[in-house]
Amino acid sequence: MKTQLFRVFPLLWLVVLAGGTPARGESPAESASAKPAPGRQVGYPVRLAGEEAFRIYDPQGAEETVRILEERLLRIAQDPFYTEDQLTTEVQGDGVWIRYRDARIGFIDEATAARLGTSPARRAAEIIASAQAAVERYRDRQEPEAWTRALLLLALSTGLLVGAVYLVVASHRRLVARLDARSRTGMTVGGQRLGFRGATRLLAFERRAFRLARALLIAFVALVYLQAAFAIVPITRGYALGMIAYVLDPLRFVWDGFLQNVGDVIFVAVIVVLARLLLRGIRLLLTEAASGSLRLPGIPQDRALPLYKIARLGVVAMTIVMIYPYIPGSSTAAFRGVSLFAGALFTLGASSSASNFIGGIVLNFSGSFQIGDRVRIGDVVGDVEESTLALTRLRTPKNELVTLANGAVLNQSLVNYSAMARKQGLIVHTAVTIGYDVPWRTIHELLVRAALQTTHVLEEPAPFVLQTALNDFHVSYQINAYTRAANNVARILGALHENIQDAFAEAGIEITSPAYSALRDGAASTVPEAASASGAQLAAPRSAVDEVS
């Protein structure tokens, strides 16, 4: 029998260093040998079915020791042959053995007891008394009568829970119905009737407040129910004692951490407040500079807002660097792990991000374009809608929104059509081909007249015509006109083409390029009659066939 019991209950090396109530029957000599404990010690609780039995105070291997003690204590409590007198002590040398039946399960030496301000015999008696009480409570909860009573009370508690939740939900519905009725009849605050927008915002706020109150009430009712249910059911009654602690411990941990680091928290708060004030001051100055009401030396009006973005990023980065060592928990392994993970992610994406960031700075401060400018970047033509430190967005003439990374923009050719349009005017041009039978001066006059009749074309500088090619059967004429409306080039060219057609139609000139497919047979010359009359002294033109013959 002893061998079997020894296998069921292996040696439990209870290096128990916890304090408790004084044990009865302590000798005066043992009391005199006790020394005062050097300060308050918290210890590590050893629980039986969730209920604390006693505490140990050795920080080395405390978690593993607590786990072993709880397993062994549960086996003792479940032993059908358990009696209180089977837990005994045995004095040996300068310490005391704790025994269960005939097996030694723990030893308390003089040095261990002295650290707690007690004697080995007294400490062993305290542990035995606490373990016996915990085992008795555990065994009482396993009786059939306790289970029957617990199930009845649990059913009653569940019914009360359902009723309480139903009452909270019904009350919430009635309150929301009253809010809807009041919103239909009009909402007033302080005797003043709110408008539609104000009433809508107030109604939304009140609904959110009621939903939050409903959630808090249901959570409170559920917490009370769990507390009662754990206390009712025998096998979980011990956990009911720690239910409130499970909820309050995180709050207590945060509060204790705040008290321990109150100086660092105040330092962080002061730095953050100063950084916010600095950002507000910078934003005020640069916003006024962007609007033109304030002139800052060396900062153009169109560069003020991009400069604020860069300054804000610099201030935030400097603030993080300054407050990082003072953040509570920054020296913990978890915080360092998160920092390393964030650093790894930043490193992996830093190449493209840094390229885009540098490209954004160069584009914003090189004066390559402004918001609203008509530009061509690579193969994309459009108006600049937005330019951040990472991206540039263009709206094409077909109303398409194209997003380009600043790194890619910096590596492509960029043409700004609006830059010169604001100063001297952008030249819009188109070409027509007319046969040699129409005098070129007439063509020039008609093209200039059509250009001046076009909306957004400037009179000064005046439009001009270039004869770009003398082809085999016709002359290429290019009309050039100045405009400041670079964003409307497509419409300007469309109107210019219409005016050219009208001008040539009124002059009776066909905009067709003649293509001769037969040899000269003595028909009329293609030289204009006016030019022939004024230049009769010149020799008559000869055809290519005549020259060949």
pLDDT in tens, 107-152: 777 777 777 778 878 877 888 888 888 777 777 666 666 667 777 8
The pLDDT, as a whole number, for residue 142 is: 67
The pLDDT, as a whole number, for residue 61 is: 65
User: Is the pLDDT higher at 505 or at 548?
Assistant: 505
Phi, then psi, of 25 in degrees rounded to 5? 75, 20
Q: What is the mean pLDDT of residues 159-164?
A: 88
> By three-state DSSP, how is residue 91 classified?
strand
Q: What is the mean pLDDT of residues 411-415?
A: 85
Q: If 0-12 CB within 10 Å is exposed, 13-18 middle and 19+ buried, where does residue 102 land?
A: exposed
The pLDDT, as a whole number, for residue 470 is: 93
Count of alpha carbons within 13 angstroms of residue 426, beta-carbon side: 22
User: Is the pLDDT higher at 285 or at 183?
Assistant: 285
424-506 to CATH, choices 3.40.50.150, 3.30.70.100, 3.30.300.30, 3.30.420.130:
3.30.70.100
In angstroms, the CA 217 to CA 433 distance is 85
Q: How far is CA 305 from the centre of its chain?
A: 23
CB < 8 Å & 24+ apart, contacts of 20-27: 20/54, 20/126, 20/127, 20/129, 20/130, 21/126, 21/129, 22/122, 22/126, 23/121, 23/122, 23/125, 23/126, 23/129, 24/125, 25/125, 26/119, 26/121, 26/122, 26/125, 27/121
Instruction: List the single range of 353-357, 475-479, 510-514, 534-538 with lowest mean pLDDT.
Output: 534-538
| Nearest CA-CA partner of 419 in 366, 345, 468 | 366
Domain 371-417 fold is: SH3 type barrels. (2.30.30)
The pLDDT, as a whole number, for residue 449 is: 94
Q: In the numeric block, which tokens belong to residue 455?
A: 């909306």
The pLDDT, as a whole number, for residue 511 is: 83
User: Is the pLDDT higher at 541 or at 135?
Assistant: 135
The pLDDT, as a whole number, for residue 272 is: 93
Q: What is the mean pLDDT of residues 39-60?
A: 70
Highest mean pLDDT out of 103-112, 290-299, 380-389: 380-389
In angstroms, the CA 245 to CA 232 distance is 18
Q: What is the mean pLDDT of residues 302-328?
A: 83
> By three-state DSSP, how is residue 424 classified?
coil
What mean pLDDT, rounded, does the chain reach? 75
Report CA-CA distances (Å) from 271 to 262, 320, 524.
14, 9, 93
In 28-86, the DSSP E strands lie at 44-48, 51-56
pLDDT in tens, 83-113: 777 777 878 777 887 777 776 666 777 777 7
Confidence of residue 528 (pLDDT cuts 50, 70, 90): low
pLDDT in tens, 218-259: 988 887 887 777 777 655 655 655 666 666 777 777 777 777
Q: What is the mean pLDDT of residues 468-476?
A: 90
Instruction: List the single range of 171-180, 198-207, 390-399, 460-469 with lowest mean pLDDT.
Output: 198-207
Q: What is the mean pLDDT of residues 465-473?
A: 92
User: Is the pLDDT higher at 235 or at 210?
Assistant: 210
| Nearest CA-CA partner of 484 in 420, 439, 538, 441 | 420
Q: What is the mean pLDDT of residues 448-465?
A: 93
Q: The dihedral of CA 147, 149, 150, 154: what is its sign? A: positive
Confidence of residue 2 (pLDDT cuts 50, 70, 90): very low
The pLDDT, as a whole number, for residue 38 is: 43
Amino acid symbol at 183 = S
Report CA-CA distances (Å) from 458 to 123, 166, 418.
105, 78, 15
Q: What is the mean pLDDT of residues 387-404?
A: 87
In angstroms, the CA 138 to CA 134 distance is 6
Report whether pLDDT(384) > 70.
Answer: yes
pLDDT in tens, 259-274: 777 788 888 899 999 9
DSSP H helix total and E strand total for the chain: 18, 15
pLDDT in tens, 162-175: 988 999 899 888 88
